[in-house]
Structure formats: C-alpha cells, structure tokens
Amino acid sequence: MNIQQIASKARNSISNYCINECHAYCCRKGYLILNEEELNLLTQDKRKELEDREFIKQQEGNKFSLNFSNHLGSCPQLNDSKCMIHKNPKRPLTCEKFPIFVDEEKKEIRLSPRCFAVKENKLFPYTHKFLELGFKVNEDYF
C-alpha cells in the first residue's frame, strides 16, 4: 500500500467517529478558504444571505472565506453530521484530505491539531505506518 492509500484508509477509519461522536466539528467551527466555484458549490441558494450577513468575505487572489460560525450553524452542506457533497469530485481539497495532509516531496504528514480524532490519538495505527515509510508526522503545522 502506498502513502496515499494509507492516508485514505486512515481517514476512512475515523468516519463513524466523525459522524457519531465528533458530530462534524470541523464543518461547524472555523472557516474555509474557497475559490468561486467551490463557494457556489458549498453555498448554493444560501450564498446571498451568507454574503448579506457577512459570513462570506472576499480575500486576496479571487478567494473567499466562508465562516461556519454563521446563522445556519455550520457549512451549508452539512446535514445531520454528514456532508451532502461527500462524493462530489469538485468538493474542496481541504474537505477531501482533512485531517491528514500528505506532502510526498518533503516526506511529511501533517495532521490537523484542530481535529478531535487527532487530539484523541485515534490515528495512531496509521501514524506508525507513516513513520515506518520514512515520513515525518507533524501535528503543529497549522
């Protein structure tokens, strides 16, 4: 199994925890930086009200920040702790990769310290595999 396959398996290993115990904290708190296409995909018919209430802010380089601490209480695509666009290939890369980001060039794995599965060391069996393959594992990067 290569590093990307192990990372993918590691993400899948926490999916029940994400839904049933964490209740998708990462889709309810904080914000995401998105391009226009991603913003439209995530907000759809809610874009205007989120803009009017200033939960969407323009950033440099034609990017936007979408604040999840909004009147909806989360990303607009979150429903019952599940992502409604989980299988959409156009969903943001951050959503696809969170909380494990692989940098093959630097041989580094970055784990988001915001993630409760990371905080509770639920990825330990996989962390061990990353180390065995010669990757550094960094939890303080973000």
Would you give the binding string for ligand SF4 spanning residues 50-79, x where CB under 6 A is met?
A: -------------------------x-xx-
Select the residue interacting with ligand SF4 from 3, 33, 72, 85 (CB under 6 A). 85
Position 43 contacts ligand SF4 (CB under 6 A): no
Residues 88-127 that bind ligand SF4 (CB under 6 A): 91-92, 95, 98-99, 115-117
Position 17 contacts ligand SF4 (CB under 6 A): yes
Minimum distance between the CB of residue 11 and ligand SF4, rounded to whole angstroms?
8
Q: What distance in Å separates the CA atoms of residue 133 and residue 8, rounded to the nearest whole number?
A: 15
| CB of 35 closer than 8 Å to CB of 63 | yes
Minimum distance between the CB of residue 134 and ligand SF4, rounded to whole angstroms?
25
Measured from the CB atom, the residue of 124 and 132 that comes closer to ligand SF4 is: 124
Written in H, E and C, the secondary structure of 28-93 is: CCCEEEEEHHHHHHHHHHHHHHHHHCCCEEEECCCEEEEECCCCCCCCCCEECCEECCCCCCCCCH
Distances in Å between the alpha carbon of 96 and those of 7, 40, 50, 132, 133?
11, 17, 23, 24, 22
| CB of 93 closer than 8 Å to CB of 87 | no
Residues 19-38 that bind ligand SF4 (CB under 6 A): 22, 24-27, 32
**Residue numbers of the site for ligand SF4 (CB under 6 A)?**
14, 17-18, 22, 24-27, 32, 42, 75, 77-78, 83, 85, 91-92, 95, 98-99, 115-117
